């Protein structure tokens, strides 16, 4: 197991002590600290003024009650969160997640990762994350609207285009962003388009934002493959999830000639050896808001494996792109993928691979792209949306996608080169952590102890 440098170990111990019962947050901090030993060996000045300790402590954490009335007239209570982690690079920026599993530790791990991811984009955005334990599944549009309005009625006072700019994440798509933007506008009496991203195209949204995370991960993974003279063409690919990130990953991989044969949702996974029919998946997930198993009945081919009766990572593939949720790919799954000949893994989700899984991939020489680099295309395009809002401009799809492609290529190269510079060639985890850290550490030093 990789070790934390002696000089950094007390920082990790303090994080664990002060954030009891938040294992995902500990995991995210540990992974970064494991990489930073190489940095402080060269640059001990980064240990001064408790810079790394400050980086591990959110600037502000907001937890609030969200009361709303369901369709039966009953009052429901959820809990809302916003963790404003770091504003060293710009306004806090990061999505909102609505899922019953949400708690403060999950939001903190996501907010912490977001700092480095946002820094890697090279754009002026800080790191934050938020959400609620509200479950939109099975709720009517009216219920979702009333929830979103109540959520924003508290959150709006903490937001602003120069302060904090949320976006979507699991359970928060165009519908939810629309309701929240409407309520923000009503409460503030300001048409402040740059306060939320992932907006609809009719009121300040950016073309290519919906596609950006999945497309971006595909560009990143392709760049990793290309370092070994390979490409997606003809490669069997498995993508977990069937939400926003998964759908647009499948689309882009298919456009490069990759054969995507499996995807999933929380009810299980489907396999279609002929290659997935993406139009049908979009119809099931985006229009009907249905379950992925319906594919087999509607298509008349392939098979469905219920959740708990197998893992999507049992399906042999050359490229794996986990795009559902954290810790969905275990050490055991990774061993299976390696045995089946996987060549590259690009993380569309945040922290989907456990530490054991990452170790297994790296020891086997599999090219591994960590989420904080590989899925940065979403937030990068959100920053492009903010640019368009600030200049009252609107770019074409092609222009926006071209910027996204360049940003993803730059992130890849920066991780690759940083890993080499710090004595870990081919290790994108170390490359991403160090390159992201240095970009945030420099402004933090310039600002003094704040």
Give the binding site for ligand NDP (CB under 6 A). 168-171, 213, 241-246, 265-267, 323-325, 348-350, 375, 378
| Nearer to ligand NDP (CB atom), residue 12 or residue 98 | 98
Query: What is the number of alpha carbons within 13 Å of residue 237 lying toward its C-beta?
Result: 32
Which residue's Cβ lies closest to ligand NDP?
243
Provide, rounded to whole angstroms, the least separation between the CB of residue 218 and ligand NDP.
13
Provide, rounded to whole angstroms, the least separation between the CB of residue 113 and ligand NDP.
9
| Nearer to ligand NDP (CB atom), residue 311 or residue 350 | 350
For residue 164, give the H/E element and its range. strand 164-167
Provide, rounded to whole angstroms, the least separation between the CB of residue 288 and ligand NDP.
12
Q: Which residues are catalytic?
A: 129
Q: Are 120 and 373 in contact (CB under 8 A)?
A: yes
| Nearer to ligand NDP (CB atom), residue 80 or residue 168 | 168
Phi (first) and psi of residue 79, to 5 degrees: -115, 135
| Nearer to ligand NDP (CB atom), residue 101 or residue 301 | 101
Residues 6+ apart with CB under 8 A from 182: 149
| Nearer to ligand NDP (CB atom), residue 35 or residue 244 | 244
Structure tokens that stand for 11 in this block: 């920082």
Task: Output the CA–CA distances (angstroms, integers) from residue 317 to 322, 338, 428, in the order listed.
Answer: 12, 9, 21
Interatomic CA distance for residues 237 and 224, integer angstroms: 15
Phi (first) and psi of residue 2, to 5 degrees: -60, 145
Longest dimension (CA), the chain: 63
Nearest to 90 by CA among 449, 439, 411: 439
Q: What is the DSSP letter of 72?
A: T
Provide, rounded to whole angstroms, the least separation between the CB of residue 316 and ligand NDP.
21
Q: Are 353 and 347 in contact (CB under 8 A)?
A: yes
Q: Are 329 and 5 in contact (CB under 8 A)?
A: no
Provide, rounded to whole angstroms, the least separation between the CB of residue 417 and ligand NDP.
23
Provide, rounded to whole angstroms, the least separation between the CB of residue 367 and ligand NDP.
19
- Tokens 């392939």 sit at which residue? 302
Structure tokens that stand for 248 in this block: 């647009």
CA triple 396-400-402, angle to 5 deg: 115
Provide, rounded to whole angstroms, the least separation between the CB of residue 286 and ligand NDP.
9
Q: Is 426 exposed, middle or buried (0-12, 13-18, 19+ CB in 10 A)?
A: middle
Structure tokens that stand for 301 in this block: 């081919």
| Nearer to ligand NDP (CB atom), residue 37 or residue 171 | 171
Interatomic CA distance for residues 197 and 174, integer angstroms: 10
| Nearer to ligand NDP (CB atom), residue 118 or residue 360 | 118
| Nearer to ligand NDP (CB atom), residue 46 or residue 116 | 116
Provide, rounded to whole angstroms, the least separation between the CB of residue 93 and ligand NDP.
11
Q: Are 341 and 316 in contact (CB under 8 A)?
A: yes
Q: Are 198 and 382 in contact (CB under 8 A)?
A: yes
Strand partners, 96: 130
Query: What is the number of alpha carbons within 13 Å of residue 263 lying toward its C-beta?
Result: 32
| Nearer to ligand NDP (CB atom), residue 8 or residue 172 | 172
E-strand ranges in 226-373 read 236-239, 259-265, 268-271, 303-306, 319-321, 344-346, 367-369
Provide, rounded to whole angstroms, the least separation between the CB of residue 69 and ligand NDP.
24
């Amino acid at each position: 197991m990789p070790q934390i440098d002696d000089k950094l170990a007390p920082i990790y111990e303090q994080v664990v002590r002060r954030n009891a019962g938040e294992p995902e947050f500990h995991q995210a901090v540990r992974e970064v600290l494991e990489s930073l030993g190489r940095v402080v060996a060269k640059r001990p000045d980064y240990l001064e003024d408790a810079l790394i300790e400050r980086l591990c402590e959110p600037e502000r954490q907001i937890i609030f009650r969200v009361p709303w009335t369901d369709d039966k007239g009953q009052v429901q209570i959820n809990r809302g969160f916003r963790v404003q982690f770091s504003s060293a690079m710009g306004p806090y920026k990061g999505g909102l997640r609505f899922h019953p599993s949400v708690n403060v530790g999950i939001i903190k791990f996501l907010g912490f990762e977001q700092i480095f991811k946002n820094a890697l984009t090279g754009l002026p955005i800080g790191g934050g994350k938020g959400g609620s334990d509200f479950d939109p599944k099975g709720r009517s549009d009216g219920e979702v609207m009333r929830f979103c309005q109540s959520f924003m009625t508290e959150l709006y006072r903490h937001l602003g285009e120069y302060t904090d700019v949320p976006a979507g994440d699991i359970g928060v798509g165009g519908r939810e962003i629309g309701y929240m933007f409407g309520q923000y506008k009503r409460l503030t009496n300001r048409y402040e388009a740059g306060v939320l991203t992932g907006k609809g195209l009719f009121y300040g949204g950016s073309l290519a934002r919906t596609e950006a995370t999945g497309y971006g991960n595909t560009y990143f993974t392709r760049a990793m493959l290309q370092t070994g003279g390979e490409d997606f063409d003809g490669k069997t690919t498995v993508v977990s999830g069937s939400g926003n990130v998964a759908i647009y990953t499948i689309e882009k991989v298919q456009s490069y000639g990759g054969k995507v044969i499996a995807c999933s949702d929380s009810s299980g996974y489907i396999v279609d050896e002929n290659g997935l029919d993406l139009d049908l998946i979009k119809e099931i997930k985006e229009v009907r808001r249905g379950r992925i198993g319906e594919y087999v009945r509607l298509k008349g081919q392939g098979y469905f494996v219920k959740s708990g009766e197998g893992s999507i990572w049992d399906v042999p593939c050359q490229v794996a792109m986990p795009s559902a949720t954290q810790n969905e790919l275990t050490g055991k799954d990774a061993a299976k993928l390696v045995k089946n000949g996987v060549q590259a893994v690009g993380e569309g989700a945040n922290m989907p691979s456990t530490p054991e899984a990452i170790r297994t991939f790296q020891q086997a020489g599999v090219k591994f792209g960590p989420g904080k680099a590989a899925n940065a295309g979403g937030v990068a395009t959100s920053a492009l949306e903010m640019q368009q809002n600030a200049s009252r401009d609107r770019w074409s799809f092609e222009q926006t996608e071209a910027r996204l492609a360049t940003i993803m290529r730059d992130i890849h190269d920066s991780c690759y080169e940083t890993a080499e510079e710090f004595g870990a060639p081919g290790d994108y985890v170390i490359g991403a952590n160090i390159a992201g850290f240095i970009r945030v550490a420099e402004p933090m030093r310039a600002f003094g102890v704040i």
